[in-house]
């Protein structure tokens, strides 16, 4: 990277600090190692302390999911003021609201290269009409204030190529997954210990779902399926890893269906590799995804997956080879997929082995190399 003697600064923006920690920490560390001063702008949450401990400069910024809030006028003015003060040489924005406000602020504060990572456009094949009416024109307009637009799945890339981006729309498959950290062979001998720590029996068929407890992640479809599966599959456990606004509703539903002994809510966890090692299959039934990191982590753990047949998931899963894709809302297909895997340990192993090969193309090392090349390109002017 081309640098002056002056210690230059780079900004990362996202809706929440946990988004930056989960998806962009390796890239922030990469730039930090190269001598850049890295700043993070996001809404306050538990991940701020971790980013601050890494030496990043954190700016609490009240971004929200709702794209229409009068408070964003004040947020934008504060961003412009901060950007002018810090004089960033590069701004990397993420998530819709932070992406829009960050790009406008960068334009108003003084021209510097801007990268936007679209973690999954809100307009996509099968999306509600309202999404197309709101998000499509916004993203098309904001592309004019974007030097490099990163898309992480092929459907979004095909659309982004039609936008008038300042320099280039780029396809990079995801944010990468640490294959070595999730290596199942390194953890195989500890599998029994991991299960015991989680209170899981040796004979249990263990399903794990790593996802925020929100409507989009569609835990409801899995709960409805489990309500039927438990009647035919003995010794079954389902672990929900994550927290979110739907937690109370989902816990009440599980209790009402008599599944409290089957479905366990583990909350936000930092031992996801160990939980994956203790499981048999990863399930992700989201209604919308970009290129889900949780799915890739399950693949890197050598697990078969059951996922909804949507954009992003289709980039990772070939039906019947390394997992099973089911339609959104199709409880019957979900039940059939879970029962098929529960009754066939050899198929679990075959699909898991296929995933270990498939995931190599999405490894963190490969993705980091491509991101670094893009940073070099942006910073070289």
pLDDT digits (tens, 9 = 90+) for 339-351: 999 999 999 999 9
DSSP-assigned states of every residue in 193-204: HHHHHHT--TT-
Measured CA to CA, the distance from residue 151 to residue 130 in angstroms comes to 22
Q: Provide the pLDDT for residue 189.
A: 73
Compute the mean pLDDT over every residue in the chain, rounded to the nearest whole number: 94
Whether pLDDT at 181 is above 90? no
Domain boundaries, the chain: 9-176+363-379, 184-361
Pick from 75, 80, 76, 165: which is nearest to 118 by CA?
A: 165
Supply the pLDDT for residue 2: 41
Cβ atoms within 10 Å, residue 23: 20
Residues 280 and 297: beta-carbon distance below 8 Å: no
Instruction: pLDDT band for 187, please (50, 70, 90 cuts).
Output: confident
**CATH dotted code for 9-176+363-379:** 3.40.50.2000
Beta strand pairing status for 57-60 and 90-94?
unpaired
Segment 303-329 shows an average pLDDT of: 97
* Confidence bin at 6 (pLDDT 50/70/90): low
pLDDT in tens, 283-304: 999 999 999 999 999 999 999 9
- The stretch 327-339 carries a mean pLDDT of 98
Segment 138-167 mean pLDDT: 97
Does the pLDDT value for residue 274 go beyond 60?
yes
What mean pLDDT is predicted for residues 263-273? 94
- Residue owning tokens 């989009």: 216
Report the 3 state secondary structure along 111-155: CCCEEEEECCCCCCCCCCHHHHHHHHHHHHHHHHHCCEEEECCHH
Span 190-210, average pLDDT: 91
Q: Could you give the C-alpha distances from 116 to 30, 110, 123, 246, in angstroms and in order?
A: 18, 17, 16, 29
219-229 and 247-256 helices, crossing angle to 10°:
10
| CATH number for the domain running over 184-361 | 3.40.50.2000
- Terminal Cα distance for the chain, rounded: 11
Bridge partners of 58, per DSSP, are 40
Q: Is the pLDDT of residue 131 over 70?
A: yes
Token pair 């004089």: residue: 87
Cα-based torsion angle of the residue sequence 3, 365, 12, 218 in order, rounded to the nearest 10 degrees? 170
Please state, in angstroms and rounded to a whole number, the distance separating the CA atoms of residues 132 and 140: 11
- Per DSSP, the residues of 29-66 read HHHHHTT-EEEEEEE--TTHHHHHHTTPEEEE----S-
Mean pLDDT confidence for 184-198 = 82
The share of the chain scoring above pLDDT 70, in percent, equals 98
For 72, phi and psi rounded to 5 degrees?
-70, -20
Residue 192 has a pLDDT of 86
Same topology between domain 9-176+363-379 and domain 184-361: yes
């Amino acid at each position: 990277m081309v640098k002056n003697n002056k210690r230059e600064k780079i900004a990362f923006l996202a809706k929440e600090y946990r988004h930056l920690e989960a998806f962009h920490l390796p890239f922030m560390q990469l730039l930090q190692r190269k001598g850049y001063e890295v700043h993070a702008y996001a809404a306050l949450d538990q991940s701020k302390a971790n980013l601050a401990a890494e030496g990043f400069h954190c700016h609490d910024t009240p971004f929200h999911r709702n794209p229409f809030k009068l408070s964003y006028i004040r947020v934008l003015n504060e961003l412009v003021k901060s950007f002018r003060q810090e004089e960033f040489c590069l701004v990397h924005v993420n998530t819709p609201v932070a992406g829009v406000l960050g790009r406008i602020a960068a334009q108003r504060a003084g021209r510097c290269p801007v990268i936007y990572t679209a973690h999954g456009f809100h307009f996509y094949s099968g999306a509600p009409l309202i999404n197309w009416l709101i998000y499509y024109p916004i993203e098309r307009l904001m592309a004019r204030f974007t030097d490099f637009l990163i898309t992480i799945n092929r459907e979004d890339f095909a659309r982004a190529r039609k936008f008038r981006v300042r320099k280039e729309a780029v396809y990079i498959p995801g944010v990468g997954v640490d294959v070595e950290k999730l290596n199942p062979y390194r953890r195989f001998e500890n599998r029994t210990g991991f299960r015991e720590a989680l209170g899981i029996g040796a004979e249990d068929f263990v399903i794990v779902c790593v996802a925020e407890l929100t409507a989009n992640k569609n835990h409801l479809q899995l709960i409805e399926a489990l309500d039927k599966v438990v009647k035919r599959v003995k010794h079954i456990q389902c672990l929900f890893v994550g927290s979110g606004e739907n937690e109370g509703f989902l816990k009440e539903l599980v209790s009402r269906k008599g599944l409290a002994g089957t479905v366990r809510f583990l909350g936000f966890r930092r031992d996801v590799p160990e939980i994956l090692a203790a499981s048999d299959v990863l399930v992700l039934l989201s209604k919308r995804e970009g290129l889900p990191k949780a799915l890739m982590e399950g693949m890197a753990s050598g697990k078969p997956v059951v996922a909804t047949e949507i954009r992003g998931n289709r980039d990772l899963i070939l039906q019947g080879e390394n997992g099973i894709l089911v339609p959104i809302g199709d409880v019957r297909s979900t039940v059939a997929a879970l029962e098929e895997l529960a009754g066939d340990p050899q198929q679990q192993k075959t699909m898991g082995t296929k995933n270990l090969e498939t995931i190599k193309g999405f490894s963190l090392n490969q993705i980091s190399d491509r991101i670094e090349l893009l940073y070099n390109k942006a910073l070289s002017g």
